[in-house]
Amino acid sequence: MVGPVERMEEPERPQESARRDFVKKAGSIVISGLAGAIPTCAALTVFLDPLQRKGQRRDFVHVASLDSLPSDGTPRQFSVIADRTDAWNKSPRVPIGAVYLRKTEANQVIALNVVCPHAGCFVEYSSAQKAFSCPCHNSRFALDGTIADRKSPSPRALDALEVEIRNQSEIWVKFQNFIAGHAQKIPVS
């Protein structure tokens, strides 16, 4: 009896080998081109994104009037409304953030940014505890914004903002956001 016939592989023809080499080279050129383009696109996105651009420094904004604050020093939260301008648009009178205002004396007010310096959640005021607390990771802050609990993960106190009283009753705040997660107050530029 004759046994099974083994198939011998045919030697590759020079034309097929050259074509395969060409496809491999073309593929690697495309892949390395894409790899190079990704960081370029990311850099362009950062450059073109108006929210990432510098020039976001703000002047004082009229936030509230003195008689809208309780005289017992209880803080009240206010939205900060101002014109927002970026590279492409000007949006008049839009909310750009929020602050807690607290009357410390008849004609004196402190302003605290509501954003928790740990990771950017909004802190809440508890009148029962007379303190601010962050719902995200339980940072706690005293009425003046200092850290009230050593276990708080926040690396710094709440961000105090400059305040001016104008025309005897208008509370103007120099609104500014600061980078979260740092012990120092570094303005978001």
| Shortest distance in whole angstroms from residue 132 CB to ligand FES | 10
CB 110 within 8 A of CB 98: no
Least spacing, CB of residue 55 vs ligand FES, in Å: 27
Taking the complex as a whole, the smallest distance from the CB of residue 45 to ligand FES amounts, in Å, to 26
> 61 vs 134, which CB is nearer to ligand FES?
134
Enumerate binding residues for ligand FES (CB under 6 A).
Answer: 116, 118-121, 134, 136-137, 139, 153-154
Name the residue nearer to ligand FES (CB basis): 61 or 116: 116
DSSP structure string for 68-113: GS-TT---EEEEEEEEEE-SS-EEEEEEEEEEEEEEEETTEEEEEE
Residue among 116 and 161 whose Cβ is closer to ligand FES = 116
- Rounded CA gap, 25 and 176, in Å? 53
Tell me whether residue 101 or residue 116 sits nearer to ligand FES (CB atom): 116
Closer Cβ to ligand FES, 153 or 170, answer by number: 153
What is the closest distance, in whole angstroms, from the C-beta atom of residue 57 to ligand FES in the complex?
A: 24
Residue 100: closest CA among 135, 141, 51, 54: 141
Q: What are phi and psi of 51, to 5 degrees?
A: -75, -20
- Contacts of residue 172, defined as CB under 8 A and 6 or more positions apart, other chains included, come to 60, 61, 62, 63, 163, 164, 165, 166
C-alpha–C-alpha distance, residues 77 and 158, integer Å:
14
Cβ 59 to ligand FES, closest distance in Å? 28
